């Protein structure tokens, strides 16, 4: 096996060698952290579909494309290029081009009291002690080889620090922009968000591409929510359909912390969205909300690993998927309830709409419960647009395209209703509206007015 | 010219013929009642008129305002002025009544070349019609029919009819399952909407509704054909004698 890995991941080995050369001056602990991660990656390589967590997602195209690390000066992006990505009223917007912080494109003026933001690169250079205790705290157990890869190439990303008790009203926006190159470029952004005790904020982490070219973004975001903190995280993936995008969100929650994760996957060709909350403090609550909308040949994989490590914690997972064309969606919801996590209340719901005969969804719950006094439920539905509802709307004068669109919006609306901050909600509602309008038009062209018998698959279990 | 002309209509589902030659003419301002036993084809007629594609028309023609109805999509028929109050109104979670009604109203207005209504124009009209159906304004923000009682759903149908102001309203067993109070409210709404330009086709299984909404004409549909037509007195006669033409029908004497 190892020879195969050497061949496939040769580009990674080369990239790492020159990266290491360039980063000689970094702190010893950081270099060691990278080295360990790289050695681990080298030992196992990219995941294959033989692994349970990757059964439905084949990443050989990532392994076989010789990506290179971009450099800070091989792109030129202007303020004008980014105009359409400034839709939200934000507290600040940090812009990253191919993983590198671009201060001249970012908006950091007039930060509210209690909010500190900068690039991870700046923290590494100027104040590495500020990040050391937080970075990769779970060093013993990285989620997968993509995370190892990210840690091996760790150099830049966002650093957000919210002071104890600070309430940040407007969202903190992290805009990750891909610009394609030849050979294609990979980036490994690392975002670190530290929310101290009793603080409150919303973070929007968005991935976009400025052109139609191929790229690979492999991000890891670590969000640490202190005791009683209330933090919302919004992931918005809307890169072009050539893009590979892997993102991993680690949520570490202290006592009574309330965290919500909202993942909105609208773009990207091959997308893997890992969400990994660890409810480590008593009374913590976690909402894991998501919507994936795929068309053409998009592959959108959502891997949830919810870890209940303390008693009296609640987690709620709600993911809705809309799949058209030959799109393939995956929802893998794994819940681990550790022995000491009594009185856990965990719920998981995955609902899917398949709009074409070739669209596909694989949905899979995986419950591992080691405590004996817990409530865990999970359920999934797979269905098509309700023909009765469609006819009802049309019989009132609403044309077929609009009627389909209304029904899709209603389905996606369930996800929007779980977003409680008005600004991100409104922004995401707009993006979803556009995406669904595109799908509605394409779908009508493809299928004509042919109709199918509605068949629905539903399963639900309680444990 | 008649508002609706149905000539020798044959229609069915999946190759199974249900309507076997229906002729019916309805003029503006008239209220027609279509009665008949279960399975006689009443609802099929309503579905064909509202252009549900699952019902296949094999022979005959339907002219609405002189235009070929069978070439129209459901939304076109609706915009031309055909409204069917559903026997089983569909629940649509996630779409508010207000949004749904405004979308429908504006679709119809666009089709007719009229200006669209914004929320400011829409609300007073909506409130006025709500009163007519004795409905609560909280309905505005509730999802379409979602969690409504049977009576609320039927009232919501008539509310939509009041908003969309059709030329031909088809009431498909709107009275089925209604309690006395809901029936009174629904009938009152329908009677208020009766006028010289609007025709109605009231499909019912029971004579009860026709004491509230008195029709100009009563037709009896048995096994896919109209076997008897007459004035309002026919409904009374049917109650006494049952349907003629089938054994099944005679057993199903109209009651209630």
Question: By percentage, how much of chain A surpasses pLDDT 70?
Answer: 93
Query: A459 falls in which pLDDT band (50, 70, 90)?
Result: low
What average pLDDT does the segment B116-128 reach? 89
Residues from chain A that touch B92, judged by Cβ atoms under 8 A, are 386, 389, 392-393, 407, 410
- Residues 66-85, chain A: which have Cβ within 8 Å of B? none
A74-95 residue pLDDT tens:
778 999 999 888 877 899 999 9
Q: For residue A2, what pLDDT is reported? A: 41
In a domain, B101, yes or no: no
Q: How far apart are CA A60 and CA A413, in angstroms?
A: 35
Tokens of A298: 């998009």
Contacts of A436 in chain B (CB under 8 A): none
Mean pLDDT, chain B, rounded, equals 91
Q: The tokens of B168 are what?
A: 């031909």
Report pLDDT for A446.
58
Selected residue of A353, A396, A408 to mutate for chain B interface (largest B Cβ count, 10 A): A396
DSSP B60-81: EEEEETTEEGGG--HHHHHHHT
Cα B211 from Cα B176, distance rounded (Å): 15
Please give the C-alpha separations between residue A451 and each of A86, A386, A388, A390, A403, in angstroms, as whole numbers.
Answer: 40, 10, 11, 11, 14
Q: What does the pLDDT read at residue A385?
A: 93
Tokens of B207: 């004579």
- Using the predicted structure, report yes or no on whether residue B43 has a pLDDT greater than 60: yes
Residues A182, B205: Cα–Cα separation, whole Å: 73
Task: Check CB contact under 8 Å for B75 and A386.
Answer: no
Residue B247 inside a domain? The answer is yes
By C-alpha distance, which of A333, A347, A339 is closest to A311? Answer: A339
Q: Please indicate if any CB of chain B lies within 8 Å of the CB of A397.
A: yes
Other Cβ atoms less than 10 A from the Cβ of B57: the count is 16
User: Mind listing the pLDDT tens digit for each residue in B54-97?
Assistant: 999 999 999 999 999 999 999 999 999 999 999 999 999 999 99
Q: Look up the pTM and report it.
A: 0.89
Partners of residue B95 in chain A, C-beta under 8 Å: 406-407, 409-410
Strands (DSSP E) along A41-157, which ranges? 68-69, 92-97, 100-101, 115-119
Residue B113 contacts A, CB cutoff 8 Å: no
Does the pLDDT at position A453 exceed 60?
no
- Considering only CA atoms, which of A223, A176, A191, A206 is closest in space to residue A266? A206
Question: A1-15: buried (b, 16+ CB within 10 Å) or exposed (e) per residue?
Answer: eeeebeeebebbeeb
B89 contacts in A (CB within 8 Å)?
392
- Give the closest-approach CA distance of B108 to chain A in angstroms: 6
Is B46 domain-assigned?
Answer: yes
Is there a contact between B100 and A451 if contact means CB atoms under 8 Å apart? no
A396/B164 touch (CB, cutoff 8 Å), yes or no: yes
Task: Using an 8 Å CB-CB cutoff, list chain B residues near A397.
Answer: 75, 78-79, 104-105, 107-108, 111, 164
- Judged by CB atoms closer than 8 Å, whether chains meet at A386 and B73 is answered as no
List the single residue in A with minimal CA-CA distance to B143: A410
User: In the prediction, which pLDDT does A8 show?
Assistant: 57
Tokens of A27: 């702190």
Q: Is the pLDDT of residue A6 over 90?
A: no
Please give the average per-residue pLDDT across B34-55, as a whole number: 94
Quick check: A372 and A344 in contact, CB under 8 A? no
How would you class B42 by CB atoms within 10 Å of its CB: exposed for 0-12, middle for 13-18, buried for 19 or more?
buried
Pairwise CA distance, residues A278 & A269, whole Å: 29
CB neighbour class for A461 (10 Å; exposed up to 12, middle 13-18, buried from 19): exposed
Into how many domains does chain B fold?
1
Count CB atoms within 10 A of the CB of residue B118: 10
CA A376 to centroid of chain Cα atoms? 24
| Closest Cα in chain A, distance from residue B241 (Å) | 37
Cβ neighbours of B52 in A, within 8 Å: 391, 395
Q: Which of A252-256, B21-25, B95-99 has the highest mean pLDDT?
A: B21-25
- Find, in chain A, the residue whose alpha carbon is nearest to that of B74: A395
- CB proximity B119 to A under 8 Å: no
Which residues of chain B make contact with A414, given a CB cutoff of 8 A?
94
B221 assigned to some structural domain: yes
Using a 10 angstrom Cβ sphere, with 0-12 exposed, 13-18 middle and 19 or more buried, the burial of residue B181 is: exposed
Q: What is the ipTM of this complex?
A: 0.94
Closest partner residue to B75 among A388, A400, A451, by Cβ? A400
- Residue B188 sits in a domain whose CATH number is 3.40.50.300
> Mean pLDDT across the stretch A423-451?
78
CA angle, B90 then B95 then B97, to 5°: 75
> Using one digit for the tens of pLDDT, what is the confidence trace for A189-230?
999 999 999 999 999 999 999 999 999 999 999 999 999 999
Q: Cα(B36)–Cα(B42) distance, rounded to whole angstroms?
A: 7
Q: Could you tell me the pLDDT band of residue A456, with boundaries at 50, 70 and 90? A: low
Instruction: List chain B residues with CB under 8 Å of A400.
Output: 73, 75
Burial annotation A294-332 (CB, 10 A radius, 16+ → b, else e): bbeebbbbbbbbbbbbbbbbbbbbbbbbbbbbbbbbbbb
Q: If you measure CA to CA, which chain B residue comes closest to A417?
A: B94
On whether any CB of chain B is under 8 Å from the CB of A398, the answer is yes
Short-list A236, A238, A285, A232, CA closest to A261: A232
pLDDT value at residue A33? 93
Q: pLDDT higher for A312 or A87? A: A312
User: Is A406 near chain B, with CB under 8 Å?
Assistant: yes
At A452 the pLDDT is 42
Would an 8 Å CB–CB cutoff place B90 in contact with chain A?
Answer: yes
Top residue of B77, B80, B86, B92 to mutate, by most chain A CBs within 10 Å, is B92
A35 at interface of B, judged by CB pairs closer than 8 A: no
Runs of H (alpha helix) within B194-251: 208-212, 233-241, 247-251
Q: Say how many CB pairs under 8 Å bridge A and B.
A: 76
Is the pLDDT confidence value at A449 over 70?
Answer: no
- Beta strand residue intervals within A295-327, DSSP E: 299-308, 314-323
Q: How far is B239 from chain A (nearest CA, A)?
A: 33
Q: What is the pLDDT of residues A9-27, one digit of tens each?
A: 789 999 999 999 999 999 9
β-pair type (A230-238, A258-265) = parallel
Please answer yes or no on whether B95 and A406 come within 8 Å at the CB atom: yes
Domain region containing B26: 4-92+165-251
Cross-chain residue pair A396–B160, CB shorter than 8 Å: yes
Q: Is residue B151 in some structural domain?
A: no
- C-beta atoms surrounding A210 within 10 Å: 18
B253 φ, ψ to 5°? -55, 140
A87, two tokens: 């839709």
Q: pLDDT tens digit string along B210-256?
A: 989 999 999 999 999 999 999 999 988 887 777 755 444 444 444 33
Interhelix angle A400-416/B97-111, rounded to 10 degrees, is: 160
A457 compared with A73, residue with greater pLDDT: A73
Q: How does pLDDT run across B130-185, given as a tens digit for each residue? A: 998 888 888 888 999 999 999 999 999 999 999 999 999 999 999 888 888 889 99
In a domain, B20, yes or no: yes
Contact of B146 with chain A, judged by CB distance below 8 Å, is answered with no
Q: Closest Cα partner for A9 from A54, A55, A60?
A: A60
């Amino acid at each position: 096996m190892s020879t195969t890995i050497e061949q496939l991941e040769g580009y990674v080995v080369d990239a790492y060698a020159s990266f290491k050369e360039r980063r000689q001056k970094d702190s010893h602990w950081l270099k060691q952290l990278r080295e360990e991660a790289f050695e681990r990656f080298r030992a196992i390589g990219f995941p294959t579909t033989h692994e349970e967590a990757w059964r439905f997602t084949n990443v050989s195209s990532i392994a076989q494309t010789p990506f290179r690390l971009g450099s800070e000066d091989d792109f030129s992006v202007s303020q004008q290029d980014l105009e359409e990505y400034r839709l939200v009223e934000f507290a600040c917007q940090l812009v990253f081009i191919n993983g590198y912080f671009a201060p001249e494109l970012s908006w950091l003026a007039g930060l509210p009291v209690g909010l500190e933001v900068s690039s991870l690169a700046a923290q590494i250079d100027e104040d590495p002690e500020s990040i050391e205790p937080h970075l990769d705290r779970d060093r013993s157990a990285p989620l997968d080889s993509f995370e190892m890869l990210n840690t091996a190439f760790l150099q830049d990303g966002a650093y957000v620090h919210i002071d104890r008790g600070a309430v940040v009203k407007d969202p903190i926006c992290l805009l990750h922009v891909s610009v394609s190159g030849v050979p294609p470029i990979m980036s490994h952004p690392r975002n670190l968000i530290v929310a101290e005790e009793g603080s409150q904020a919303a973070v929007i982490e968005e991935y976009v591409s400025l052109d139609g070219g191929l790229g690979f973004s492999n991000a890891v975001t670590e969000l640490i929510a202190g005791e009683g903190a209330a933090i919302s995280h919004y992931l918005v993936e809307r890169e072009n359909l050539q893009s590979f995008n892997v993102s991993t969100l680690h949520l570490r929650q202290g006592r009574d912390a309330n965290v919500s994760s909202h993942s909105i996957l609208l773009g990207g060709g091959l997308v893997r969205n890992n969400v990994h909350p660890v409810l480590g403090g008593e009374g913590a609550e976690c909402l894991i909300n998501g919507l994936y909308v795929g068309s053409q040949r998009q592959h959108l994989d959502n891997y949830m690993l919810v870890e209940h490590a303390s008693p009296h914690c609640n987690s709620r997972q709600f993911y809705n998927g809309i799949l058209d064309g030959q799109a393939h969606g995956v929802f893998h919801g794994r819940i681990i309830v550790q022995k000491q996590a009594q009185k856990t209340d965990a719920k998981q719901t995955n609902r899917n709409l398949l709009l074409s005969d070739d669209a596909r969804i694989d949905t899979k719950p995986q419950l591992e419960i080691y405590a004996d006094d817990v409530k865990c439920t999970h359920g999934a539905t797979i269905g098509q647009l309700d023909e009765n509802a469609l006819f009802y709307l049309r019989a009132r004068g609403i044309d077929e395209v609009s009627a389909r669109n209304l029904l899709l919006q209603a389905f996606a609306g369930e996800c929007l209703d779980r977003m409680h901050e008005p600004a991100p909600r409104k922004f995401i509602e707009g993006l979803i509206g556009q995406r669904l309008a595109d799908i509605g038009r394409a779908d009508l062209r493809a299928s004509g007015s042919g109709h199918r018998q509605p068949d629905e698959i539903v399963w639900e279990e309680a444990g | 010219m008649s508002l609706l002309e149905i000539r020798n209509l044959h229609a069915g589902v999946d190759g199974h013929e249900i309507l076997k030659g229906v002729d019916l003419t309805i003029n503006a301002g008239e209220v027609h009642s279509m009665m008949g036993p279960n399975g006689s084809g009443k609802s099929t007629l309503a579905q064909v008129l509202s252009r549900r594609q699952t019902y296949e028309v094999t022979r005959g023609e339907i002219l609405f305002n002189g235009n070929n109805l069978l070439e129209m999509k459901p939304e076109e028929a609706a915009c031309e002025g055909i409204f069917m109050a559903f026997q089983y109104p569909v629940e649509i979670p996630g779409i508010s009544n207000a949004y749904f009604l405004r979308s429908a109203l504006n679709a119809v207005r666009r089709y007719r070349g009229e200006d669209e209504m914004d929320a400011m124009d829409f609300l007073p009209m909506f409130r006025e019609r709500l009163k007519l159906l004795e409905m609560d304004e909280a309905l505005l923000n509730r999802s379409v029919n979602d969690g409504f009682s049977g009576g609320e759903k039927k009232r919501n149908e008539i509310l939509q009819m009041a908003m969309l102001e059709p030329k031909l309203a088809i009431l498909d067993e709107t009275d089925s399952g209604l309690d006395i109070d809901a029936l009174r409210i629904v009938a009152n709404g329908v009677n208020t909407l009766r006028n010289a330009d609007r025709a109605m086709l009231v499909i019912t299984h029971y004579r009860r509704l026709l004491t509230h909404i008195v029709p100009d004409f009563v037709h009896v549909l048995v096994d896919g054909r109209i076997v008897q037509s007459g004035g309002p007195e026919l409904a009374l006669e049917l109650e006494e004698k049952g349907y003629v033409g089938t054994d099944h029908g005679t057993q199903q004497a109209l009651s209630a």
